[in-house]
Amino acid sequence: MTFLRQVADGFSRWMTSVAAAIVAMRGWFASTRSVELVEEGNGDFAVRVAEKKGGAARLEEGRIRIAGGKVLGPLPAGLAAKLKASRAEVMLQPGRFVFRPLELPRRASEFLDGIVRSQVDRLTPWSATEAAFGHGPPAEIANDRILVTVAATAMTLIAPLVEAIAGLGADTIVVSARTQEQAAGAAPIKVFERKVRGALELHRVRRAVVVLLIGAALLAGTALAAQVIVGGDLEARRIDAGRQIAERRLALRIGDPARDSALAALERRKHETPSSVIVIEALSQLLPDHTYVTELRITGDKMQIVGVTRDAPSLIRLIEQSAHFTRATFFAPTTRSPSEPGEHFHIETRIEPVFTPRS
C-alpha cells in the first residue's frame, strides 16, 4: 500500500506540474491588459487603463470606491469590462506602510529577498507570515556597502482591498508603495502579488489533462481488446483454412474415395460397353464380298444385322470364329426373293468387350 500511495502521489505531482506548464505557456501567448488603481484617500481609487489603439497609447481614467472589502456603487460598463482578466496594479498611500532602511554589504545584493525576509520581524512590528513586504532597488553607499529600503504592511490591512478587486474579475493583483520622498515616476516597491485565476485555472487544466489521459487509456484499452478479439477470430479462420488445405492435399495424395469410385465406374463402363466403330470395323473384315448389310442395330451388348448373301449359314460360322462376337443365331427365317441374287438373312450375335477390365 505504501508503494501504491507513493506512485499515486508522484502521479499527482506530475499532473500538477504538467498543468502548471500548460497554464504558464498559455500566459506567455495571452496578452494581459494593465490597469492601475491609485489610492487617493477615503477609499477612493483613480483607475487608469493603458491601451493601444491606432498604434498610440492612451490613458482612460475612472473612479471607484472601496470600503469594507467591497466596491461601492456600480461601475461604468466600459471600465468593468476592462478590469476583467486584467493585471491590476494597486498603488496605496505611503501612510499604510512602514519604511525602513537596511544597510548591507555589496555582496549581499545577490541574496536580498532572503535577507529581507529574515529581517522583517526585526525591522517591522510583524513577522514574515503576517506582513506584506518588499524592497526597492539597492543604492550603493560608501565603504563598499549598499542601502535598501524595505516597505511592509500588515496582511490584514490589504486583504480586504485585494478581495474587492478580485471580485471585479482581475486576473493578477499587485500591491505596491512609494515613499513620500520618491518621485511620482520612480519605480514603486512591490509588497504583494496574487494570481486570482491562477489556482482555479490550474485546477481546471489539471482536471482536463486527467480526463484526456483517462480517455486515451480507455481508447487504447478498447483498441487492444478489439485487436485481441478480431485478431483471435482471424487467427482461428487462418488455422481452419490451413487445416482444410492440408486435408485436401492429403486426399489428393492418397486418393479421394468418391473420385476414385467415379473414375472406376467410367473405366468399367468403357470396358463393358462395346465400341460401335470397332464393331463395324470387325464386321466389315469378316463378311465376304458377296454379302451386303442393309440394316445394323447395336443394343447394349447385342448386335442385329440384316442383309443379302449367297450362303447365309456360312455367315454364322464366320461370325463365331471372330473374337469380337459370340452366340450368333438367326432371329428370323432366311428367305429368298426372285428379284434378289441371294438369300435375305437376319442374324443376331453377342458383342464381346474390346478391353479387358483392370484387376
Q: Are residues 178 and 278 in the same domain?
A: no
Instruction: Name the 3-class secondary structure at 158.
Output: helix
Cell readout for 292 is 451386303
Of the ranges 155-159, 166-170, 212-216, the best mean pLDDT one: 155-159
Residues 40-53: what's their mean pLDDT?
Answer: 76
226 within a domain of the structure (yes/no): no
Residue 108 is given by DSSP the state: G
In angstroms, the first-to-last Cα distance of the chain is 84
User: In angstroms, how far is CA 204 from the centroid of its own chain?
Assistant: 25
Question: Which range, of 56-70, 147-161, 217-231, 295-309, averages the lowest pLDDT?
Answer: 56-70
Which CATH number does the domain housing residue 112 bear? 3.30.420
Return d(Cα 88, Cα 38) in angstroms, integer: 10
Residues 6 or more apart whose CB falls under 8 angstroms from that of 166 comprise 173, 194, 196
pLDDT score of 180 more than 90:
no
pLDDT of residue 272: 62
Residues 6 or more apart whose CB falls under 8 angstroms from that of 287 comprise 293, 309, 315, 318
161 within a domain of the structure (yes/no): yes
Angle between the 312-321 and 276-286 helix axes, to the nearest 10 degrees? 120
pLDDT score of 154 more than 80:
yes
pLDDT score of 48 more than 60:
yes
Domain count within the chain: 2
Q: Which tens digits make up the pLDDT trace of 198-241?
A: 555 666 667 777 778 788 888 888 888 887 788 778 888 888 89
Question: Dihedral, CA atoms, 334, 336, 342, 348, nearest 10 degrees?
Answer: -20
Q: Are residues 303 and 192 in the same domain?
A: no
Q: Is the pTM of this model over 0.85?
A: no
pLDDT of residue 54: 45
Return d(Cα 48, Cα 58) in angstroms, integer: 9
Q: Are residues 339 and 190 in the same domain?
A: no
Domain that holds residue 316: 272-351
Residues 57-69: what's their mean pLDDT?
Answer: 74
Asked which of 156, 180, 196 is the last residue of a domain, the reply is 196
356 within a domain of the structure (yes/no): no
Q: Are residues 35 and 182 in the same domain?
A: yes
256 within a domain of the structure (yes/no): no
Q: Are residues 165 and 300 in the same domain?
A: no
Return d(Cα 41, Cα 93) in angstroms, integer: 8
Of 12, 9, 4, nearest to 207 by C-alpha is: 12
Of 218, 236, 216, 217, nearest to 228 by C-alpha is: 236
134 within a domain of the structure (yes/no): yes
Which CATH number does the domain housing residue 328 bear? 3.30.1360
Of 209, 190, 213, nearest to 201 by C-alpha is: 209
Return d(Cα 117, Cα 183) in angstroms, integer: 26
Return d(Cα 326, Cα 347) in angstroms, integer: 12
User: In angstroms, how far is CA 11 from the centroid of its own chain?
Assistant: 24
Residues 41-61: what's their mean pLDDT?
Answer: 67
114 within a domain of the structure (yes/no): yes
1 within a domain of the structure (yes/no): no
pLDDT of residue 174: 93
270 or 288, which is more confident?
288
Confidence of residue 151 (pLDDT cuts 50, 70, 90): very high
